[in-house]
Amino acid sequence: MTALALDIGATKFAAALVDSAGAVGEPRRIAVPESEVWEACRELLTEVVGDARVSAVGIGSAGPVDVGAGVCGPLNIPEWAEGFPIVDAVRKLFPEAEIRFAIDGVCLVLAEQRFGAARGVANVLAMTVSSGIGGGIISDNRVVMGRTGNAGHVGHIVVPGQDEPCACGGFGCVEAVASGKSSVRWARRQGWTGTTGVELAAAAHAGEPIAVAALQRAGTAIGTAVASAAALLDTDLVVIGGGFAQSGEPLWGPLRTAAAAHARLKFLRGLRVVPSELTDQATLQGAAILAFGAATAGETPRGRMTS
């Protein structure tokens, strides 16, 4: 059995074949174009599959999503922001394949529990902090999907004292305050001249005051959101991955400080906030788990995810 895993990110698509043992092959990645987005995605999938016969496809997409309708609407992909029928589009390419679709946070938490920092943990929140902020939830060893498949979309927890406008139309969302893209935007308003989250992190490590302040601001916002989400979910483990989460102590120091300051309830005193052990293939690994139908160890998501 050969499966296909697809990761629809805010700025890139990644795809890889998955063998019958669940091993993910070498992924191919492309930047998300400004227009003709599906055409670029379709070409990527066609190239990855080649002559292989695909019997299952797992799709993880940046949100929001509507899993029941098979529609993704990533806020950072304008052409798809109002909703794109990704399941139907992929089914036309691979009409004999079984297709399973979820928000990328679900794929992330599946991969973390199976292969990463949450191995063996029954209750976990996994977050990705990159150009956007998302997440997924496992509660009592079951993936939490929610009514439309958007449960765990923690990027839109509102951070007290913040009023940054968010792409969702709201204000003060942690994504609008603390994602890599948002942090770069804030730093540039203060006079910093770099352009990427990687550059911002490097500048913070070098002690550049604006960069240090930007990561302090982001880490504090993320840590505050983590404490709020942990209290809501009654979880004792939060795993954080994504490109911007790899910014090191300038981000993680204030993050942990803020999480500890707000997680004061007795049942949260053992709260652990740890970095992902996975590479940037985490969503692909989770999409591969979806493709083979396993939500968590021994459990099947049929009826809970689009097929």
Specify whether the CB–CB gap between 204 and 211 falls below 8 A: yes
Mean pLDDT, residues 12-25 taken together: 88
All residues at 6 or more sequence positions from 78 whose CB lies less than 8 Å from its CB, including other chains: 34
Per the structure, the count of domains in the chain is 2
Helical axes 249-262 vs 197-205, angle rounded to 10°: 90
In this structure, is residue 59 part of a structural domain? yes
Examine the domain organization and report whether 131 and 270 are in the same domain. Answer: yes
Q: Say if residue 270 is in the same domain as residue 286.
A: no
- pLDDT (0 to 100) of residue 131: 86
Give the model's pLDDT for residue 85. 97
User: Number of helices (H) and strands (E), helices first, in the chain?
Assistant: 9, 12
Q: Residue 10: inside a domain, yes or no?
A: yes
196 occurs within a structural domain: yes
Whole-model pTM?
A: 0.89
Q: In the structure, what pLDDT confidence band is assigned to residue 307 with cuts at 50, 70 and 90?
A: very low
The pLDDT value given to residue 76: 85
Residue 10: exposure state from Cβ atoms within 10 A (0-12, 13-18, ≥19): buried
Residues 197-239: tens digit of each pLDDT: 999 999 999 999 999 999 999 999 999 999 999 999 999 899 9
Please indicate, yes or no, if residue 110 is contained in any of the structural domains.
no
CA–CA distance, 181 with 169 (Å, rounded to integer) = 17
Which pLDDT value is given to residue 75?
Answer: 87
The verdict on 220 and 244 lying in the same domain is yes
Is 298 inside any structural domain?
Answer: no
pLDDT of amino acid 281: 83
Among 25, 125, 37, residue whose Cα is nearest residue 84? 37
Residues 152, 192 share a domain: yes
Q: Looking at the structure, do residues 88 and 128 belong to the same domain, yes or no?
A: no
Determine the 3-state secondary structure of 121 from DSSP.
Answer: coil
Cα–Cα distance between 242 and 275 in angstroms, integer?
Answer: 9
In a domain, 35, yes or no: yes
Same domain (yes/no): 270, 121: yes
Q: Are residues 35 and 60 in the same domain?
A: yes
Q: Which CATH number does the domain housing residue 73 bear?
A: 3.30.420.40
| Encoded tokens for 225 | 């959101």
Averaged pLDDT, 262-291: 91
The verdict on 123 and 164 lying in the same domain is yes
CA-atom Rg of the chain in angstroms: 19
* 300: in domain: no
> Rounded to an integer, what distance in angstroms lies between the CA atom of residue 42 and that of residue 78?
18
Q: Are residues 157 and 35 in the same domain?
A: no
Domain extent for 27 = 3-103+281-291
Q: How far apart are the first and last CA of the chain?
A: 17
Each residue of 103-162: pLDDT tens digit? 999 999 999 999 999 999 999 999 999 989 999 999 999 999 999 999 999 999 999 989
* Same domain, yes or no: 75 and 124: no
The reply to whether 296 falls in a domain is: no
Domain identity same for 254 and 124: yes
Tell whether 15 and 158 lie within a shared domain.
Answer: no
